[in-house]
Amino acid sequence: MKDAFNALDVDRSGSLSKEELVEGYRMIYGDNFNEGEVDALLNMADENDDGVISYSEWLMTAMNRQKILTHEKLEAAFQGFDADHSNTVSFDEIKNFLFGSKGFDEAQLHNVINRVDADHDGDITLE
Protein backbone atom coordinates (compact mmCIF):
# COMPACT_ATOMS: atom_id res chain seq x y z
CA MET A 1 0.00 0.00 0.00
CA LYS A 2 2.81 2.36 0.91
CA ASP A 3 4.64 1.69 -2.37
CA ALA A 4 1.52 2.39 -4.41
CA PHE A 5 0.88 5.60 -2.48
CA ASN A 6 4.49 6.75 -2.90
CA ALA A 7 4.41 5.99 -6.61
CA LEU A 8 1.42 8.30 -7.00
CA ASP A 9 2.80 11.00 -4.68
CA VAL A 10 4.98 12.58 -7.36
CA ASP A 11 5.67 15.81 -5.46
CA ARG A 12 6.48 13.89 -2.23
CA SER A 13 4.07 16.04 -0.25
CA GLY A 14 2.72 13.07 1.71
CA SER A 15 -0.70 13.48 0.12
CA LEU A 16 -2.30 12.79 -3.24
CA SER A 17 -3.80 15.66 -5.19
CA LYS A 18 -6.43 15.27 -7.88
CA GLU A 19 -3.74 15.88 -10.49
CA GLU A 20 -1.58 13.08 -9.08
CA LEU A 21 -4.56 10.73 -9.05
CA VAL A 22 -5.39 11.62 -12.66
CA GLU A 23 -1.79 10.89 -13.68
CA GLY A 24 -1.94 7.59 -11.81
CA TYR A 25 -5.11 6.64 -13.67
CA ARG A 26 -3.41 7.60 -16.95
CA MET A 27 -0.44 5.36 -16.11
CA ILE A 28 -2.79 2.42 -15.50
CA TYR A 29 -5.59 2.99 -18.03
CA GLY A 30 -4.03 5.28 -20.62
CA ASP A 31 -6.44 7.98 -21.71
CA ASN A 32 -9.41 5.59 -21.51
CA PHE A 33 -10.77 6.45 -18.08
CA ASN A 34 -13.54 8.59 -16.71
CA GLU A 35 -12.23 11.53 -14.70
CA GLY A 36 -15.44 11.29 -12.70
CA GLU A 37 -13.97 8.14 -11.13
CA VAL A 38 -11.07 10.21 -9.81
CA ASP A 39 -13.51 12.77 -8.42
CA ALA A 40 -15.53 9.99 -6.78
CA LEU A 41 -12.38 8.49 -5.24
CA LEU A 42 -11.30 11.87 -3.93
CA ASN A 43 -14.75 12.58 -2.47
CA MET A 44 -14.91 9.16 -0.84
CA ALA A 45 -11.38 9.12 0.58
CA ASP A 46 -10.87 12.77 1.59
CA GLU A 47 -12.25 12.54 5.12
CA ASN A 48 -11.18 16.02 6.24
CA ASP A 49 -12.21 17.77 2.99
CA ASP A 50 -8.81 19.37 2.39
CA GLY A 51 -8.86 18.42 -1.29
CA VAL A 52 -6.12 15.76 -1.06
CA ILE A 53 -5.80 12.18 0.17
CA SER A 54 -3.36 11.62 3.01
CA TYR A 55 -1.71 8.26 3.55
CA SER A 56 -4.03 7.48 6.47
CA GLU A 57 -7.06 8.32 4.32
CA TRP A 58 -5.58 6.11 1.56
CA LEU A 59 -5.28 3.20 4.01
CA MET A 60 -8.78 3.68 5.43
CA THR A 61 -10.26 3.71 1.93
CA ALA A 62 -8.40 0.54 1.00
CA MET A 63 -9.55 -1.23 4.18
CA ASN A 64 -13.16 -0.12 3.68
CA ARG A 65 -13.04 -1.37 0.09
CA GLN A 66 -11.77 -4.73 1.30
CA LYS A 67 -14.53 -4.83 3.92
CA ILE A 68 -17.15 -4.14 1.23
CA LEU A 69 -15.75 -6.87 -1.00
CA THR A 70 -15.66 -9.30 1.92
CA HIS A 71 -19.29 -8.49 2.79
CA GLU A 72 -20.30 -9.06 -0.85
CA LYS A 73 -18.64 -12.48 -0.78
CA LEU A 74 -20.37 -13.32 2.51
CA GLU A 75 -23.71 -12.26 1.09
CA ALA A 76 -23.18 -14.40 -2.02
CA ALA A 77 -22.33 -17.42 0.12
CA PHE A 78 -25.37 -16.77 2.32
CA GLN A 79 -27.62 -16.66 -0.74
CA GLY A 80 -26.17 -20.01 -1.82
CA PHE A 81 -27.33 -21.59 1.44
CA ASP A 82 -30.73 -19.83 1.41
CA ALA A 83 -32.49 -22.32 -0.87
CA ASP A 84 -36.01 -21.01 -0.23
CA HIS A 85 -34.98 -17.32 -0.59
CA SER A 86 -36.43 -16.44 2.80
CA ASN A 87 -33.40 -14.32 3.80
CA THR A 88 -32.74 -16.82 6.55
CA VAL A 89 -30.78 -20.05 6.57
CA SER A 90 -32.22 -23.01 8.43
CA PHE A 91 -30.58 -26.13 9.80
CA ASP A 92 -32.06 -28.17 6.95
CA GLU A 93 -30.76 -25.77 4.30
CA ILE A 94 -27.24 -26.03 5.69
CA LYS A 95 -27.58 -29.78 6.07
CA ASN A 96 -28.74 -30.18 2.47
CA PHE A 97 -26.22 -27.77 1.05
CA LEU A 98 -23.13 -29.04 2.85
CA PHE A 99 -23.81 -32.63 3.70
CA GLY A 100 -26.81 -33.96 1.83
CA SER A 101 -28.61 -36.31 4.18
CA LYS A 102 -25.88 -38.67 5.37
CA GLY A 103 -22.56 -38.90 7.16
CA PHE A 104 -22.41 -35.91 9.49
CA ASP A 105 -22.97 -35.10 13.14
CA GLU A 106 -26.30 -33.28 13.43
CA ALA A 107 -25.64 -32.36 17.05
CA GLN A 108 -22.41 -30.61 16.11
CA LEU A 109 -24.16 -28.72 13.31
CA HIS A 110 -26.90 -27.65 15.76
CA ASN A 111 -24.17 -26.40 18.12
CA VAL A 112 -22.64 -24.26 15.37
CA ILE A 113 -26.02 -22.84 14.38
CA ASN A 114 -26.88 -22.04 18.00
CA ARG A 115 -23.66 -20.01 18.31
CA VAL A 116 -24.53 -17.77 15.37
CA ASP A 117 -28.32 -17.67 15.73
CA ALA A 118 -28.65 -14.25 17.38
CA ASP A 119 -32.39 -14.47 18.24
CA HIS A 120 -32.39 -18.26 18.85
CA ASP A 121 -35.28 -18.94 16.46
CA GLY A 122 -33.42 -21.75 14.68
CA ASP A 123 -32.59 -19.70 11.59
CA ILE A 124 -29.52 -17.64 10.73
CA THR A 125 -29.80 -14.20 9.16
CA LEU A 126 -27.09 -12.32 7.29
CA GLU A 127 -26.93 -9.66 9.96
Residues 6+ apart with CB under 8 A from 58: 1, 5, 16, 45
Torsion of CA 60, 64, 66, 72, to 10 degrees: 180
pLDDT beyond 70 at 60: yes
CATH architecture of the domain 82-127 equals Orthogonal Bundle (1.10)
Question: pLDDT tens digit string along 65-121?
Answer: 766 667 777 787 788 888 898 998 888 887 776 655 455 567 777 777 888 888 888
Q: What are the structural domain ranges in the chain?
A: 1-70, 82-127
Please tell me the predicted confidence (pLDDT) of residue 15: 93
The CATH number corresponding to 1-70 among 1.10.238.10, 3.80.10.10, 3.40.50.300, 3.40.50.2300 equals: 1.10.238.10
Measured distance CA(16)–CA(27) in Å, rounded:
15
Model's pTM, two decimal places? 0.53
